[in-house]
């Protein structure tokens, strides 16, 4: 359907692509993968034809139509949603006879055609842009981060739509589950080259690692060959024949080429590796919502957000928050950190509580400030990273930024690079309570893996608002689902556990290759038959944390005793009793933890 051959594209006077070639065929469902700044958006512009090539050829099938969902939408004053989507039709179809095509996408996307674009929320703008890209049903549909600002219901609808879409698809997304569900081919944009895999994204990790391993072996073989040539050269050239001189020149070129290729390989395989996040110890109970109610008035209607909502957040909780756009997630966060007050009820916060907040709108980033000033707002060249000074250039390098770009303005960064900079700013001093609002938007896979790893090992309290299903499965152990109309449900586990417990998905076979990094225990939700917990159960719930702490200390103490390799020889009786008690204490601890989870689920079920 479309072919690009031997293309050259420059950006800022520097070559972004040289000798780039790829083909797109009918029926392809392609996921485009690559690091932030690798040129994914530029490649999409090459496909649409809006980015002219500085060299090479671009060919397309005559009459080919291309639809494009861009990352950012700038609404025009006075333009309605209907007019915006209608303008996405071909000029010959912009007549009354084709208005039905707009109506066909407005319904599933839950959009009001008469609403003004400038009045829409971020999620609604995303839906409108999606409608504009879909309305024509183009031959090739390009989607750049289509799940950003969409709630789970919107993401699932989009998956179903794309799986039944008859045209060809090319999609950039950070959502691994979404890509695995819609793709049958991979374009991996790596160091200016498109590597193609004839399978979907579910095979990306295995396939990409195989290619990198193969490249590493080839570099090792070339290094051996260059070493042999150097050994030959060190013995001297007895006769200055032309062929020997030529051989020396070729050896020098091979050595320089090897050096450059090894450097590029190291850059391509470098992962973001940071020290584990440290969290200051605080009181066990950090915050509590007690009979909280909150609503807003909009167009003469009262929209309930929370109604007699009760929640206790304990030190070490790992809570994932999901729900439809407008269901109250951001309002909940603002009341938690004290930026908003409830209409009724109380929000109590521990005096020792300290928040670190990642704002999805990136409002803390000034586009006119440099990267250096963003991390060092008061000046200087050092960033305070968890109590230790780090040079700003070295810290930027940790997050895969070129130190030479430290004076570049934030406004020149891509969406993913801005998110990386925001993460660098927040994670420098994460404090004991970390709140992340849609942190995965626009991130590349390497940064997303780094973030998952850091959060899994984070010992503090964590609240994550996200619609990235795989990400939630990896890092949280409890879900708060904002279902709308002031209905909030609590579930133990990650996103998959939420689906099962809420009855929104039938149990599926567990894939052996998918192992969750964060330990989770699933507890069935308790039926809301009771109006309050009995005194006996309430007393048991209050006593359990102390018992669990005591058992944890006992288990740790017994581990130290049994670590003595000579204990069995010195004191067989103590060894025998310690071994039996160690197994028994571990079992008691597991029973206590499960009972605490069960009673907590009961308390939340009754209070909600």
Predicted local distance difference test score (pLDDT) of residue 269: 61
Mode of pairing for the β-strands spanning 318-323 and 301-314: unpaired
Give the three-state DSSP class for 65: coil
Predicted local distance difference test score (pLDDT) of residue 360: 67
Predicted local distance difference test score (pLDDT) of residue 507: 39
CA separation, residue 84 to residues 96, 110, 245 (Å): 15, 15, 67
Predicted local distance difference test score (pLDDT) of residue 276: 54
Q: Is the dihedral of CA 174, 175, 177, 182 positive or negative?
A: negative
Q: What is the rounded distance in angstroms from the CA atom of residue 20 to the CA atom of residue 192?
A: 7
Torsion of CA 249, 253, 254, 258, to 10 degrees: 150
- Residue 2 and residue 23 in contact, taking contact as beta carbons nearer than 8 Å: yes
Give the three-state DSSP class for 425: helix
Instruction: Find the helix or strand (DSSP H, E) in which 22 lies.
Output: strand 14-24
- Residue 447 and residue 400 in contact, taking contact as beta carbons nearer than 8 Å: yes
Residue 402: partners with Cβ closer than 8 Å, 6 or more residues away: 396
Give the three-state DSSP class for 335: helix
Mean pLDDT, each 10-residue run in order, the chain (608 residues): 92 82 94 87 91 92 87 82 88 84 84 88 80 86 86 83 90 91 94 90 90 84 75 58 62 72 66 55 76 85 89 90 84 90 91 80 80 89 85 85 87 80 84 86 79 84 90 90 88 86 53 35 38 64 84 84 72 77 80 78 68
- Residue 127 and residue 154 in contact, taking contact as beta carbons nearer than 8 Å: yes
Place of tokens 């990409």: 208
Q: What is the rounded distance in angstroms from the CA atom of residue 163 to the CA atom of residue 57?
A: 31
Predicted local distance difference test score (pLDDT) of residue 274: 52
Name the pTM for this structure.
0.62
Helix axes 535-562, 572-607, angle to 10 degrees: 150
Distance of alpha carbon 408 from the chain centroid: 25
Spatial CA neighbour of 194 closest among 27, 20, 18, 11: 20
Give the three-state DSSP class for 39: coil
Torsion of CA 403, 404, 406, 409, to 10 degrees: -140
- Residue 159 and residue 4 in contact, taking contact as beta carbons nearer than 8 Å: no
Predicted local distance difference test score (pLDDT) of residue 248: 65
- Residue 490 and residue 608 in contact, taking contact as beta carbons nearer than 8 Å: yes
- Residue 181 and residue 173 in contact, taking contact as beta carbons nearer than 8 Å: no
Q: What is the rounded distance in angstroms from the CA atom of residue 262 to the CA atom of residue 432?
A: 41
Spatial CA neighbour of 37 closest among 442, 450, 452: 442
Place of tokens 């260059």: 226
Residue 74: partners with Cβ closer than 8 Å, 6 or more residues away: none
Predicted local distance difference test score (pLDDT) of residue 267: 64
Predicted local distance difference test score (pLDDT) of residue 235: 62
């Amino acid at each position: 359907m479309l072919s690009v051959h031997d293309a050259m594209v420059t950006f800022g006077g520097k070559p972004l692509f040289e000798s780039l070639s790829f083909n797109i065929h009918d029926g392809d469902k392609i996921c485009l993968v690559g690091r932030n700044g690798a040129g994914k958006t530029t490649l999409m512009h090459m496909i649409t034809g809006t980015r002219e090539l500085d060299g090479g050829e671009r060919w397309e099938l005559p009459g080919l139509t291309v639809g494009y969902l861009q990352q950012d939408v700038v609404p025009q004053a006075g333009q309605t949603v209907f007019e915006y989507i209608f303008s996405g039709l071909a000029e010959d179809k912009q007549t009354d006879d084709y208005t039905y095509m707009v109506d066909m996408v407005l319904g599933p996307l839950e959009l009001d055609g008469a609403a003004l674009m400038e009045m829409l929320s971020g999620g609604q703008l995303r839906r409108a842009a999606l409608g504009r890209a879909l309305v024509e049903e183009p031959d090739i549909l390009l989607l750049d981060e289509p799940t950003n600002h969409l709630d789970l219901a919107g993401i699932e609808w989009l998956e179903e739509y794309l799986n039944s879409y008859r045209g060809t698809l090319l999609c950039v997304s950070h959502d691994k589950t979404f890509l695995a569900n819609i793709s049958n081919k991979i374009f991996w944009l790596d160091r200016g080259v498109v590597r193609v895999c004839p399978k979907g994204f579910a095979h990306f990790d295995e396939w990409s690692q195989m290619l990198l391993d193969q490249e590493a072996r080839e570099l090792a073989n070339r290094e051996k060959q260059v070493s042999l040539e150097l050994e030959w050269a060190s013995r001297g050239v007895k006769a200055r024949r032309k062929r020997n001189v030529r051989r020396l020149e070729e050896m020098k070129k091979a050595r320089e080429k090897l050096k450059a290729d090894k450097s590029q390989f190291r850059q391509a395989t470098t992962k973001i590796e940071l020290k584990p996040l440290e969290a200051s110890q605080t009181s066990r109970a950090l915050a509590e919502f007690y009979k909280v109610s909150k609503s807003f008035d909009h167009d003469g209607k009262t929209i309930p957000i929370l109604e007699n909502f009760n929640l206790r957040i304990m030190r070490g909780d790992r809570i994932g928050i999901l729900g439809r756009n407008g269901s109250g997630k951001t309002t909940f966060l603002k009341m938690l950190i004290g930026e908003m007050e409830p209409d009724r009820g109380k929000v109590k916060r521990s005096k020792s509580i300290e928040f670190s907040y990642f704002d999805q709108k990136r409002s803390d980033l000034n586009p006119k400030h440099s990267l250096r000033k963003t991390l060092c707002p008061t000046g200087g060249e050092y960033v305070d990273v968890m109590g230790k000074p780090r040079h700003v250039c070295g810290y930027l390098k940790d997050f895969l930024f070129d130190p030479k770009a430290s004076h570049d303005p934030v406004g020149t960064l891509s969406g993913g690079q801005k998110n990386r900079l925001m993460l660098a700013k927040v994670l420098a001093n994460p404090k004991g309570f970390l709140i992340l609002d849609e942190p995965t938007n626009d991130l590349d896979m390497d940064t997303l893996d780094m973030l998952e790893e850091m959060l899994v090992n984070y010992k503090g309290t964590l609240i994550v608002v996200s619609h990235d299903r795989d990400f939630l499965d990896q890092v949280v152990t409890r879900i708060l689902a904002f279902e709308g109309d002031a209905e909030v449900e609590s579930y133990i586990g990650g996103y998959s556990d939420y689906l099962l417990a809420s009855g929104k998905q039938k149990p599926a076979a567990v894939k052996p290759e998918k192992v969750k990094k964060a330990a989770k225990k699933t507890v069935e939700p308790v039926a809301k038959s009771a109006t309050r917990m009995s005194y006996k159960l309430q007393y048991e719930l209050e006593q359990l944390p102390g018992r669990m702490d005591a058992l944890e200390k006992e288990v740790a103490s017994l581990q130290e005793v049994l670590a003595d390799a000579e204990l069995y020889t010195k004191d067989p009786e103590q060894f025998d009793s310690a071994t039996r008690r160690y197994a028994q204490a571990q079992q008691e601890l597991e029973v206590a933890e499960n009972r605490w989870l069960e009673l907590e689920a009961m308390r939340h079920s009754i209070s909600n």
